[in-house]
Every structure is written in C-alpha cells, then in structure tokens.
Amino acid sequence: MGQKWGRRDEDESETESESESAAEELTCPECGGNVVVDDEHGETVCDDCGLVITEDSVDRGPEWRAFDSQEKDQKSRVGAPTTNTMHDKGLSTNIDWRDRDAYGNSLSSNQRQKMQRLRKWNERFRTRDSKERNLKQALGEIDRMASALGLPENVRETASVIYRRALDDDLLPGRSIEGVATSCVYAAARMAGVPRSLDEISEVSRVEKSEVARTYRYIARELSLEVKPADPEQYVPRFGSELGLSDEAKMRARQLLQNAKEKGVHSGKSPVGLAAAAVYAAALLTNEKTTQAAVSEVADISEVTIRNRYHELLEAEESLGVA
C-alpha cells in the first residue's frame, strides 16, 4: 500500500511540474507577457517586450510556393477540405459520370459496365442507413435553395450544421425534410446578416410559407438559436444593387431607417417593407429614377405597403429635423 501511495504522489508531482512548465512556456520568461508564434520567420516572440524566445523552428507548411489559385491546385497533393455541406463531410470517393479515362479517351464497353457497377455500389456504401439518406437529401435541398437565393458559402455551412443538430436531437419526426431544411436556410441567412424574407424563401422551397414559419419557430426554440430580429438596414444593399442605385442613395436609405428607429416607427412593422420604402424614398431624394412598381417587384412587397411606410419614414425625419 505504501508503494502505491508513493507512486501516486510521484505521478501527481510529475503532472503538476508538467503543467507548471507548460504555463511557463506560454508566458515570457523576461517580463511574463504574452507569447506570439511567428510562423513566417520561425520565431517565438514576446508580444510585450519583443524578446525572441526561440528561433529556427520547423515550418510544417508545404515546401512549395504558389502565386495564383491555378498554380496552387496543380502543386497541391491533398484533397479538398472537409465540409458540413455533404452528408459524409466530403471524405468519400466520387466516381465521375463521364466514361473516360485520365487522358480523356472513351472507355470500352466492358470497362463502362464495370464503372457503372462501381458507381452503383459506391452510392450504396455512401448512404448506409436511413439517417444518412435523410441527411444527403436535406443537404442537397439546402445547397439548391442557397444557390437559388444567391447566399454565400458560410450560410450553407451554417444551415447544414443546424440541420445536423436537429437530426441528432430527433426533431424531425412529424415534419418534412424539405420544411426543416428550408427553415435552416432561413435561420442561417438571418444569423449571417444576409436575411431573406419568408416570401423569397418559400418561392424556392417545395413547402408552403406557413409550414416554413412554423418549423423555423420550432427549430429555433428547441435548439436555442441566437437569431436577432431582422434589421431593415440589412436589406438595403441588395435592394439598391438590384435597382441599380448609387452608393449615395443607399447611404440615404440607411439614414432614413436610423431616423425611423430613433422615433420608434420600425416597431411592429415588416423590416422588408421598411427597407423597400427607405430605398424608394432615398432614390427620390437623391434624384435617381425608380418607381414604386420596380421596388415592389424587387422586394416582393405591395405598392400600398411601400407608400404607407414611405410617408411614415418622411414624417419621422421631419419631426427629428424640427426637434
């Protein structure tokens, strides 16, 4: 028993000494400041006093250099990075549908039959169970809708992660795959600051607007998603670009919306309607040609709503000017 306790004490003292040495390595031995690793020069330097702690460290990057993306692709000897937008995270093999070899020559009939069988078995092995088949279908839908809405890659990644979380938490029973996938795209776009309205989302989706809204509320509540209310200013750049307005008009639209927030006009109003009205008002104030019909078509909002919000925005600005 005495030997066991002795060994345990020795192990504890060793771990304590290792942790103390690790802590010492993270701080400067001269002044105790923060340590920064400069990979380009192979040095470890104190950020506060400038002391070079270590030098000539091993560079673990590639030994080659590339000056453009084409040269980088040619010299790289690794595959594509893992991604959440594919059900297997991009780790499986893809067999090309074209029946050609590496030199571009057509395959013989026997080889074509062999490749067809390999493709079939490859697809079967890639989706081994119902959960993976579900994920493959949903991620395909997310990619399709994000492309149709012109959303960037980071939104697709976020939407895919949200769907994976919903699938792991068993939130899908009783709901359609398309409905959950659409609500994930809607949530991811709002979280990334490039929101799309429910009308725009439902146009590219295969489910009704009411189901998208209901599923989104359920997913956001169950997964505790931190989604801020949509800001009307986030719609201004897209509406302005589609209408061909200048930067001055876009800045004026933002100013109108900021004045409306100060007066509390935006409370209870649709952010899309406010943004459309601000863009229309800004175009008139900067002497740029646009019509209510054009703004209505871009924002998918009725002309009546644009006129009502337009008068409210101008009244808010006039009241602030008087004050």
Residues annotated in the binding site for Zn(2+), as ranges? 28, 31, 46, 49
Q: Residue 194 corresponds to which tokens in the numbers above? A: 């490039």
Nearest to 185 by CA among 153, 145, 137: 145
Nearest to 156 by CA among 221, 148, 199: 148
Positions at the binding site: 28, 31, 46, 49
